[in-house]
Chain A
Amino acid sequence: MEDSMKIIDLALKDLLRSFRSMFAVGMMVVAPLIITGLMYFAFSGMASQESGEAVPLPDITVSVVNLDQPQTGLPELGALVVDFLRDPAMPDWLVVNELTSEAAARQAIDRQATGVAVIIPEKFSAVMGSGGKAEVTILHDPTLTVGPSIVKGLMEQFMDGISGAMIAYQVIDLHASENDAVLAPETQMAVLQRYTEWFTATSQNINHADQPILRFISPAGEESSAGVTTNPIGNILALTMAGQIIFFAFYTGGSSTLSLLNEDEEGTLARLFTTPTPRSMILIGKFIAVFFTVILQTLVLLVASALLFNIKWGQPVTMLLVVLGQVAAAGGLGILLISFLKSPRQAGPVLGGVLTVAGMLGGLFTVAVPGLPELFNTINLATPHGWVLRGWKLALAGAGPGEVLVPVLVSLAIGCICFAVGARIFRNRFA
């Protein structure tokens, strides 16, 4: 009983020491909130969180070069493309202008005056009459990635509308021939009109309807409209915050353990060892302080982020399980890493380097970045950070406790192994 009280006293002393330091509190709590706050400002500055709008993009200037020379009597498809891109319904970040030649478009891209150029070929409209093929070329600034693919998606959708109408005409005409009939011009127009209306309605349905033809189901089994499980901006913030919480939890695991080396260097640990308290009790007290510091930090960050950024961390039991795995892994790894050091001066490369490297490999800093390859998900799991992140991802997706058991158990196992090895090294060192 007395030993237990001493352990608690020692743990409390270290805990108080950690949280009395403004610098430590700043790094444990304020830094992750500030970094997520930056993301909050960056991604939600232009759209309401409640609206569920797609994440806005930086302005993309699209220059259209319409070289189309339609024959008399045929629809002007090139002009339709220009009208489509200039439609007021297009997103605000799509800034459209017109240029007269491909060379002018290339020069504009070189000057970074435009990001994407849409080149409509000379015989674009002629495909309507000839039944041939035409290809619109999208030139883009080679440093851009998202803008060109979005413009490509928009153009493909628009061109599929026209191609579909042409297919409708082609198929109907074929069957008219088989029936020895000729399609009257007014019937052609009526058919194209009906197809266009159908295409517009279907595109609208599949992208925006509450009950879309393609019903979207998240892996957690939740159905939502048009492929959005929750607010996309909220997702980015939640994932960013999860990454920050994990990184700084692991940092705190290491920096809290560093107090052992600091006390050793300052001589206070040696003085503590002269007291009747067994050395093993002193070490246990210090290790408990490490775990409690990480627990407190994590809980403060979860509550603060829920209040500040409206992040829903998932089902309470699931969340607690993930916190448990995170605390075990962060505390255990921190104790192991610091056990290898001879003095606090060596902490720079370990805390700064190893944890940053592991954090990057674990996907903590790129968790909200779109377009990363699937290989990352596999590589992430080579680090404890990746397993903890997986737990948070599942929790954020609404998973139940049973679904996070694997990442939580792996995190716990990693934490226990690291702790056992680290504690043994410390015990041998201070024996």
Chain B
Amino acid sequence: MRILDLALKDISQIFRDKKSLIFLALMPIVFTLFMGFAFNGAVEDPDQRPRVGWIDRDGGSAASQALFDMLESSPDMVIAPLGDLSMDQAAERVRSYELAAVVETPAGFSDRLLAGEPVRLALIADANETIGQAAMQLIRPLVVRALSAAEITRLTLELYPASDVSADAQTREVFADAVEAWKSPALSVAVQPAGPVEDSGGMTNPYQQTSPGIMVQFAVFGLINSAMVLVLERKNRTLTRMLTTSLNRASIILGHVLAMFAVVLFQEVLLVLFGQFLLGVDYLRQPLAILAMLVSLGLFVTGFGLFVGVMAKTEDQVIMLSLIGMFVISALGGAWFPLDVAGPAFSRIGHFTPGAWAMDGFQNIIIRGLGFSSVMLPAAILMGYGLLFFVLAVWRFRFVEN
């Protein structure tokens, strides 16, 4: 009962502080919305497609027009004709993020291309920017298609040469046939997510990544409050004063642990309900599995929070240790971005952090649509980490600062 009293004291101390509440509840919600909004914009708003500038120095020739048409008909980008803009001015527009890339066809492009002479187009894009890389990936195959139409024209005219009188007209005609054929190629590729939740469209709901990701991040970040209570109690000797009561050392530690766990669980439940009912993330498709994940994540964060509270000597150190823990666990664990976008070593290292296992467990339910058995391993690993930090914390626990 006294353990409960002590836990209630910690909880009321944390919840009385409005700033703590902001960071426990409001900030994660705002962040989930913000990150989801940003990703959502990319998925649903066609204006978020890369804007590609177009400079035609070949005066609307057949090949230039064909390439322009191919680029313009791509559903994945928006083409913006730039007239006669200089390359420096075009580069400035890429630098200022107005455009993701700029394509320039040189003077004489069409004639040289159809004559089989070497041609060089220019592409301005920033390889350091993801939008620039995306634009490059979209533009290259379409350039190859335009070049292919010219090659097909040459092959055709080699077999059936045009008369001198109608050479130009026939060349344009054959080229136009090839370009027309490329509008509907014989073979195409369709991509679709697999698995039981195929109807959800896979990761098309951006909150399926950001909701559990921000939950993991702020669960770790939230331990600042809990660990801070411990550090302050040690600094102002409240811990030693507690020892003069009938509470024994184990009860004091357990009281604090219980409070930390309750605070984290409160935060997690709040974010799950928010995700479920306002963001369309189907956490509750497997209630038991989600409960197992919430409890195991809560136990890990509690163990880690106790460890930080024990290791930190000052408030500064609590903040920094919590921040570093948050960075490492969130970034390496795939809470900010899916681990499959990083390198193999990163992905492997990520799975040494509890963050990656937490994300795996949540995504097994909400994206892959799997059942309870799919969260057993992630939950067990999270609890293992929690136990490890708890044991380390109890081992190093001190009631007074040396």
Seen from chain A, the residues whose Cβ lies within 8 Å of a Cβ on chain B are 23, 27, 31, 35, 38-39, 41-43, 45-46, 55-60, 77, 93, 105-106, 109-110, 112, 115, 117, 127, 131-149, 152-153, 155-157, 159-160, 162-164, 166-168, 170-172, 174-176, 178-179, 181, 187, 191, 194-195, 198-199, 202-203, 206-207, 211-221, 227-230, 232, 235, 239, 255, 258, 344-349, 351-353, 356-357, 360-361, 365-366, 369-379, 393-394, 396-397, 399, 403
B130's partner among A138, A141, A144, A372 (CB-CB below 8 A) is: A372
* A142 to B: closest C-beta gap in Å: 3
A109's partner among B20, B194, B328 (CB-CB below 8 A) is: B194
Judging by beta carbons under 8 Å apart, are A56 and B121 in contact? no
B317 at the interface (CB under 8 A from A): yes
Judging by beta carbons under 8 Å apart, are A356 and B221 in contact? yes
B122's partner among A45, A217, A232, A258 (CB-CB below 8 A) is: A217
Majority SS at the chain A contact face: helix
Residues in B with CB closer than 8 Å to A365 are 327, 331, 336
User: Which among B39, B318, B320 has the highest number of chain A CB atoms within 10 Å?
Assistant: B320
* B162 to A: closest C-beta gap in Å: 10
Instruction: Considering the complex, give the chain B residue whose CB is closest to the CB of A147.
Output: B340
Q: How far is the CA of A420 from the CA of B194 in the complex (A)?
A: 57
* Known A135-B190, A228-B127; contact A46-B345, beta-carbon cutoff 8 A: yes
B91 at the interface (CB under 8 A from A): yes
B137 at the interface (CB under 8 A from A): yes
Residues in A with CB closer than 8 Å to B323 are 352, 356
Majority SS at the chain B contact face: helix
* Known A93-B344, A171-B152, A219-B91; contact A371-B134, beta-carbon cutoff 8 A: yes
B392 at the interface (CB under 8 A from A): no
Judging by beta carbons under 8 Å apart, are B48 and A378 in contact? no
Q: How far is the CA of A122 from the CA of B301 in the complex (A)?
A: 52
Judging by beta carbons under 8 Å apart, are B143 and A349 in contact? no
Of B175-183, B258-266, B285-293, B380-388, the segment with at least 4 beta carbons within 8 Å of chain A is B175-183
Q: How far is the CA of A134 from the CA of B189 in the complex (A)?
A: 9
Residues in A with CB closer than 8 Å to B118 are 213
Q: Which of B119-154 contact A (CB under 8 A)?
A: 119-131, 133-134, 136-137, 139-141, 143-145, 147-148, 151-153
User: Which among B95, B125, B187, B368 has the highest number of chain A CB atoms within 10 Å?
Assistant: B187
Judging by beta carbons under 8 Å apart, are A232 and B191 in contact? no
Judging by beta carbons under 8 Å apart, are A348 and B315 in contact? yes
Judging by beta carbons under 8 Å apart, are A366 and B156 in contact? no
B372 at the interface (CB under 8 A from A): no
Q: Which of B29-69 contact A (CB under 8 A)?
A: 31, 34, 38-39, 41-42, 48, 50
Of B196-204, B239-247, B248-256, the segment with at least 4 beta carbons within 8 Å of chain A is B196-204
Judging by beta carbons under 8 Å apart, are B341 and A127 in contact? no
Q: How far is the CA of A45 from the CA of B177 in the complex (A)?
A: 49
* Known A164-B148, A345-B315; contact A136-B193, beta-carbon cutoff 8 A: no
B186 at the interface (CB under 8 A from A): yes
Residues in A with CB closer than 8 Å to B302 are none
Chain B 289-333 near chain A by CB (<8 Å), digits 1 or 0:
000000000000000000000000001111110111011100110
Judging by beta carbons under 8 Å apart, are B151 and A198 in contact? yes
Residues in A with CB closer than 8 Å to B153 are 171
Q: How far is the CA of A340 from the CA of B34 in the complex (A)?
A: 26
Q: How far is the CA of A378 from the CA of B47 in the complex (A)?
A: 14
Instruction: Considering the complex, give the chain B residue whose CB is closest to the CB of A136.
Output: B189
What are 10 pairs between A and B in contact, CB < 8 Å? Answer: A41-B349, A127-B187, A134-B186, A136-B188, A166-B185, A179-B160, A207-B140, A216-B127, A356-B326, A373-B48
User: Which among A93, A199, A217 has the highest number of chain B CB atoms within 10 Å?
Assistant: A217
* Known A167-B178, A347-B316; contact A175-B160, beta-carbon cutoff 8 A: yes
